[in-house]
Structure 1
Amino acid sequence: MWWPDSRRRCTGIPPPGSCCSPSSGMPDMHVALVCPYSLDAPGGVGTHVMGLAGWLAGRGQRVTVIAPGRRARPAPPGVIFHLVGPSSDFHFNGSVAQLAVRRRQCADALRTSLAADVVHVHEPLTPGIAFAVAKGATTLVVTHHASFRVPTMLAGALRWRARALGERQSIAVSRAAAATARRACGAEPVIIGNGVVLPPAPAPRAGWRGGARPRVGFLGRLDEPRKGFDVFREVADLAAQEGLDAEFVALGPGSVTAGRVKLWGVVDDATRDQALQSVDCLVAPNLFGESFGMVLVEALASGCDVVASDLAGFRDVLAAAGTGAVFPVGDSRAALAILGERLARPTDPTRLHASAQQWGWDVLGPRVLAQYEVALARANTPPGHRGARVDGLGWHV
């Protein structure tokens, strides 16, 4: 089903295979990006997919984003949204995934993907449209985002599921996600981190960014325990008890007891970046299940310092950035101590912004395109000569 504002087909773009993209020199191709999670709710995978779609379209490629969702959103030039409708909640890895698993939704997603030269499925083993499309694709690229413990019995089930997929190029967003993919489906993925749309560079430091005192932020789903809002609230309470004069704010959905934290609610990407540009230090107190740490990169890109839980994915991001600090998972007193040290010696926002450039799409996008080229060469299918595995409709979600 095509939703309002998502029905417009691209115009003024030559037929696939007939020319090269004027901005990239690459053959014009049609890429289908499949996000398993609803775009009606904020999430790291959806943000990643949207950023990649915009970057590809800006390089002259035609892009269709296929995802659950009901609310149409403005599409960048060259991008078509194909929303398959409402999602259902599934609990896994300490989170709630909003997936579209109905048979008609899977059929709709698969039919739409068949027009593409390259099909790029995020979390391909996820029940619903991602698995259905991945099974039916002839030129397939997949990205693994998740990091979780894979017990032996689950590993066997996931490997059986992965055998339903055809030849594919595999990407993982981090070493932690690559380890999970290796255990779950035998993949040896190329590691290409989560990308972000970089905001403009902030002004050099000229005092606290939020006013007369430092502003400390939290970004994430407030009522999802693994995101650690309870730890953040404890840090705010301890700060008041121990005389650290700072303002604590939280951005994200969910109904919680705020304590000393100001709740700024749900924000779109542009408002999030603007809000982060008024925050001096982000605390990421996540408890588990974070394979990369996109929230850390978003904060750094906005010129915001970072204090984060000592999770593998977070450590890798901060080590690559050469800034930030970690504290033991769940330890609010240690978090406060390190936060106090960072605020006592603030890092200039321009340096923090510069540290995030490595995750900009102008750096990561060409690496993803290189995987598309490998997948096309393996399938021996030049852009514009699309096809599909006919067994793709014989799915199990």
Structure 2
Amino acid sequence: QGHDPFVVAPGDRVVDAGVPVRLLGRATPLPFNGSTARLALAPAQARAARAAAATADVVHVHEPLTPGAAFAAARGGRPLVVTHHAAFGVGALRPVLRARAALLPRDRVSLAVSEAAAATARAATGVTPEVVPNAIELPALSTQRSASASRPAHGAGRPMVLFLGRDEPRKGFPVFAEVARSGVDAEFVAVGPTTPTPGVSVLGAVSDAERARLLSAATVLVAPNLAGESFGLVLVEALAHGAAVLASDLPAFRAVVDDPAVARFFPPGAATAATAGLRELLATPPDPALTRAAAAPYAWDSVGPRVLRAYELSRSR
């Protein structure tokens, strides 16, 4: 598009992100919303983020109300776009969040990744953001459904059922493990968790390339998340690689895909219902062309122009 983007983020390890990255140093982990937020909280990190933001024509801050570097960058005086990701009940935090929001530029352009995130942002800031979903790079057709070599050797010839998520309670891995013990004739593979689990090939962390190969090799992606989700990015990734989706019946997941031809849903935590849904999907796997079509609205080709319009709007205010 002819633009010159750069990223400012916590971290102390250089990665190949495809764009220049300015690292702020190690993040501080804080438990929040059933997960762990990793924030750049040190005053020096906030100063560095604000200095970097001052060099940009447009600043795009994700989760602008979080303390530290993000909040500092948002208040740097440059044209500002903010994206809200989290979905949670604001409750007693409302006065604190409203006070912080009042310190942000009033002419900012506000986005949210889903209706669930938009509802949280509205309660926290008093501003209704435009919903612009997360996006992915669609895999090339030549790589989709072509990664059968990624299956564990002892599972060759059987359908692969994949779990992909961080090793934290809200991701619902114990539900996946219970389904794996149900007698379904499939190879169960987990990316993220590290605890040895009967009936599951537990891989822990894998490279991006291996992650893509596993998604392409999977027949079904299981997302047994319990709560606290604002967007089903892993569902979109699985669909884009040609896999069917079996997911907890969370509003954020239903908003991503609600087509019974490619997805089944079950009550959060209900392993028996999840097993029944899995048997249905394995009995009649959807055509990968259908799953890819379900993912198409979340391709950067579709979402990117909306983000660029937000940047242009921020500069016109």
Q: Shorter-normalised TM-score: what interval?
A: over 0.9
Query: Which of 296, 305, 313 pairs up with 1:366?
Result: 305
Alignment of 1:101-250 (within 5 A): 101-151=41-91, 153-166=92-105, 167-201=107-141, 210=151, 211-222=156-167, 224-238=168-182, 240=183, 244-250=184-190
- 1:10-48 superposed Cα distances (whole Å, 9 cap, x missing partner): xxxxxxxxxxxxxxxxxxxxxxxxxxxxxxxxxxxxxxx
- Tell me what 2:30 maps to: 90
Instruction: Assess if the C-alpha contact under 8 Å between 1:119 and 1:137 holds in 2.
Output: no
Q: Give the secondary structure class of the aligned counterpart of 1:82.
A: strand
- Tell me what 1:65 maps to: 7
Instruction: Assess if the C-alpha contact under 8 Å between 2:195 and 2:202 holds in 1.
Output: no
- 1:196-219 superposed Cα distances (whole Å, 9 cap, x missing partner): 11111268979x895311110000
Superposed displacement of residue 185, structure 1: 0.8
- Tell me what 1:8 maps to: none
Instruction: Assess if the C-alpha contact under 8 Å between 2:31 and 2:37 holds in 1.
Output: yes
Task: Report the Cα distance in structure 2 between the residues aligned to 1:278 and 1:173, rounded to whole angstroms.
Answer: 28
Query: Which of 21, 30, 52 pairs up with 1:81?
Result: 21
- 1:332-355 superposed Cα distances (whole Å, 9 cap, x missing partner): 000000110011011112221222
Superposed displacement of residue 234, structure 1: 0.7
Q: Give the secondary structure class of the aligned counterpart of 2:46.
A: helix
Structure 1, unmatched stretches of 5+, are 1-58, 379-397
Q: What's the TM-score once normalised by structure 2's chain length?
A: 0.94
Task: Report the Cα distance in structure 2 between the residues aligned to 1:169 and 1:377, rounded to whole angstroms.
Answer: 11
Instruction: Assess if the C-alpha contact under 8 Å between 1:110 and 1:132 holds in 2.
Output: yes
State whether structure 2 residue 280 is matched by structure 1 residue 341: yes
Alignment of 1:280-299 (within 5 A): 280-299=219-238
- Tell me what 2:211 maps to: 272
Task: Report the Cα distance in structure 2 between the residues aligned to 1:285 and 1:192, rounded to whole angstroms.
Answer: 25
Task: Report the Cα distance in structure 2 between the residues aligned to 1:92 and 1:320, rounded to whole angstroms.
Answer: 32
Task: Report the Cα distance in structure 2 between the residues aligned to 1:61 and 1:134, rounded to whole angstroms.
Answer: 20
Superposed displacement of residue 321, structure 1: 9.4
Superposed displacement of residue 191, structure 1: 0.5
Instruction: Assess if the C-alpha contact under 8 Å between 2:143 and 2:216 holds in 1.
Output: no
Superposed displacement of residue 127, structure 1: 1.6
Superposed displacement of residue 377, structure 1: 0.3
What code does the residue aligned with 2:266 have? F
Which protein has greater RCO, CA pairs closer than 8 Å, 6+ apart? 1
The CA RMSD over aligned residues, in Å, is 1.8
Superposed displacement of residue 260, structure 1: 1.2
Instruction: Assess if the C-alpha contact under 8 Å between 2:114 and 2:133 holds in 1.
Output: yes
Instruction: Assess if the C-alpha contact under 8 Å between 1:171 and 1:191 holds in 2.
Output: yes
What code does the residue aligned with 2:278 have? L
Q: Percent identity, please.
A: 50
Q: What's the TM-score once normalised by structure 1's chain length?
A: 0.75
Q: Give the secondary structure class of the aligned counterpart of 1:346.
A: coil
Task: Report the Cα distance in structure 2 between the residues aligned to 1:204 and 1:366, rounded to whole angstroms.
Answer: 25
What code does the residue aligned with 1:237 have? R
Structure 2, unmatched stretches of 5+, are none
Instruction: Assess if the C-alpha contact under 8 Å between 1:182 and 1:188 holds in 2.
Output: yes
